[in-house]
Amino acid sequence: MSIRLRLALWYTAVLGGTLVIFSLLLYLLMLRHLIDEGDANIASRAQHIASTVRVETAAPSTVQRVELPPIDAFESPGIYVQVVQTNGTVVAHSDNLGGQELPGDERAFAVAHAGHGVFYTAIVAGEQVRVYVEPLVASGRVIGFVQVGRSHAEAYVVLDRLRLGLAGVGMVSLLLAGAIAWAVAGGALRPIASMTQTARAIALSRGFSRRLGVTTSRDELGQLSRTFNEMLASLEEAYATQQRFIADASHELRTPLTAVRANLELLDRQGADLPGSERQALITAATGEADRMARLVADLLSLARADAGQKLRMRPIELDRLLLEVYGDARLLAKGLTMAIREIDEASLLGDPDRLKQLILILVDNAIRYTPAGGEVGLSLRKDGATAVLEVSDTGIGISAQDMPHVFERFFRADRARARDAAGTGLGLAIAKWIIEEHGGDITVESELGKGSTFAVRLPLMSH
Ligand code: ADP
């Protein structure tokens, strides 16, 4: 069942329930009121008649003549008047009774005989009639009763009309309320329908540049659509980044592949005719390109894992020992450079040793690559409060201010011509940054063009 239908039904049901309770109360109050009013009416008529009867008595105890007031003056449609003697003989009755009689009631007559007015219900011509009996007293004796009856029919007519009116008004209100609820719910939910449509269209076409139009309202749906649009914007950016990454990666892979292929083709066609040294040069070049490609693929794999949210395997490690290990390996590569550890503190932290080694290697590798022969590469590790600060500095070519903000971007390479070799992939610092962030640290660079650069990595130490 749709939310719209559910809302409309709930709204109508709640209103319906309220109307039923209200109508019931009104009906009961009206019923009570009609009964009370009718009772008061017939009682007062009976008392009035009883008080205006004139009785002539011959002796103190014998009634000679009873003079009734004109009874018909008391009748009105549905009101019957009748006077009876204590033995039940009808003395007079209103015209509207015709040939009928208001039946007596023994118990009521007994009460009236004792001098009290009393109500009872009788049936006249198949109709329920409420009767009031008032004693007729002459010379201190009850000589008869005045009965005033009132048909229930009139009250029933009023109640019937009330019932009909309530039912009619109730039905119309419910229909109206249902229709209004349906329309209001439809209007309120329209943005959701449009969101669903847009989301579906985006899912089908991957058109992340599309946006929802309803962003002005300040209600919940407005908020939802704004959030949805923000999500689309970040999806669009992520998608564009991914596309760029794939394009860059393919481009980067194509260059060494083309070189390898060209060299192999040359060897294939003319290998036999070429002098040994040239043949060797071709093979060395192809191998070099293949190595570069292998590095590139390894870097891409690291980043792909990072993007897939791969978690590192953290355990307690000694960063100083890792640094020494990398130093030992890297010294062999740093041909023509002076490489030194300037300062080394003990630093234990929670980390992934392979990744941290990779991180140091990336920084040292860059320092070597971008420092001309004769330069210096310095390493240091010190503690600063609860952080370990690892610095890799060089006296190399430096980074220009305009390149500085981009060095951690994937595939960014500044001024390749000035590097010692073209072996870089442009992914090193992006991977380094990911590793550092996974360890809860950060990295900063200071550099001056032509003078050298210092990369400082801050990592949280293990708390004891
Ligand atoms: P690459 O594989 O090209 O070294 P990186 O992501 O490691 O890729 O570095 C990105 C760019 O940052 C490099 O191409 C280089 O221009 C610059 N860079 C990194 N380290 C240094 C450094 N120590 N000295 C000068 N430039 C550097």
Both 269 and 333 in a single domain?
no
User: What is the structure's pLDDT at 183?
Assistant: 94
Q: Is 425 in the pocket of ligand 1 (CB under 6 A)?
A: yes
Query: Which residue's alpha carbon is nearest to atom 16 within ligand 1?
Result: 414
Both 378 and 453 in a single domain?
yes
Both 371 and 431 in a single domain?
yes
Beta-sheet pairing, 376-384 with 338-344? parallel
CATH number for the domain spanning 383: value is 3.30.565.10
What gap in Å lies between CA 90 and CA 99, rounded to an integer? 12
Q: Is 436 in the pocket of ligand 1 (CB under 6 A)?
A: no
User: What is the structure's pLDDT at 315?
Assistant: 95
Distance (angstroms) between ligand 1 centre and the Cα of 366 equals 6
Coil, strand, or helix at residue 353?
A: helix
Both 295 and 326 in a single domain?
no
Asked if residues 146 and 136 have their Cβ atoms less than 8 Å apart, the reply is yes
Both 368 and 455 in a single domain?
yes
Distance (angstroms) between ligand 1 centre and the Cα of 424 equals 8
Q: Is 156 in the pocket of ligand 1 (CB under 6 A)?
A: no
Domain boundary among 245, 278, 304: 304
Both 285 and 336 in a single domain?
no
Q: Is 394 in the pocket of ligand 1 (CB under 6 A)?
A: yes
| Residues near 6 by beta carbon (within 8 Å), at least 6 away in sequence | none
Q: Is 366 in the pocket of ligand 1 (CB under 6 A)?
A: yes
What end-to-end distance do the CA atoms of the chain give, in Å? 59
What gap in Å lies between CA 353 and CA 312, rounded to an integer? 10
Q: Mind listing the pLDDT tens digit of every residue in the chain (464 residues)?
A: 888 899 999 999 999 999 999 999 999 999 999 999 999 999 998 998 888 877 766 655 555 566 777 777 777 777 888 988 888 888 888 888 888 888 988 899 999 989 899 999 988 888 889 999 999 887 778 888 999 999 888 788 889 999 999 999 999 999 999 999 999 998 888 878 888 888 888 888 888 888 877 667 778 888 888 888 899 899 999 888 888 888 888 988 898 899 899 999 998 998 788 888 988 998 999 999 899 899 899 989 988 888 888 888 899 999 999 999 999 988 888 888 999 999 999 999 999 999 999 999 999 999 999 999 999 999 999 999 999 999 999 999 999 999 999 999 988 888 655 555 556 788 999 999 999 999 999 999 999 999 999 999 999 999 86
Both 106 and 235 in a single domain?
no
Distance (angstroms) between ligand 1 centre and the Cα of 250 equals 20
Q: Is 424 in the pocket of ligand 1 (CB under 6 A)?
A: yes
What gap in Å lies between CA 390 and CA 3, rounded to an integer? 59
Which of 248, 296, 399, 411 to mutate for ligand 1's pocket (most ligand atoms within 8 Å of CB)?
Answer: 399
Residue labelled with tokens 């509207």? 96
Both 122 and 258 in a single domain?
no
User: What is the structure's pLDDT at 1?
Assistant: 83
Q: Is 452 in the pocket of ligand 1 (CB under 6 A)?
A: no
User: What is the structure's pLDDT at 58?
Assistant: 61
Both 148 and 251 in a single domain?
no
Both 292 and 332 in a single domain?
no
Domain boundary among 113, 129, 158: 158
Which of 379, 397, 413, 421 to mutate for ligand 1's pocket (most ligand atoms within 8 Å of CB)?
Answer: 413
pTM of this structure: 0.59
Domain residues for 345? 314-460
Both 253 and 384 in a single domain?
no
User: What is the structure's pLDDT at 2?
Assistant: 87
Ligand 1 atom having least distance to the Cα of 427: 6
Q: Is 104 in the pocket of ligand 1 (CB under 6 A)?
A: no
In a domain, 329, yes or no: yes
Q: Is 367 in the pocket of ligand 1 (CB under 6 A)?
A: yes
Surface-to-core class of residue 220, CB atoms within 10 Å of its CB (0-12 exposed, 13-18 middle, 19+ buried): exposed
- For 95-108, what is each residue's pLDDT tens digit? 888 888 889 888 99
Both 452 and 412 in a single domain?
yes
Distance (angstroms) between ligand 1 centre and the Cα of 429 equals 7
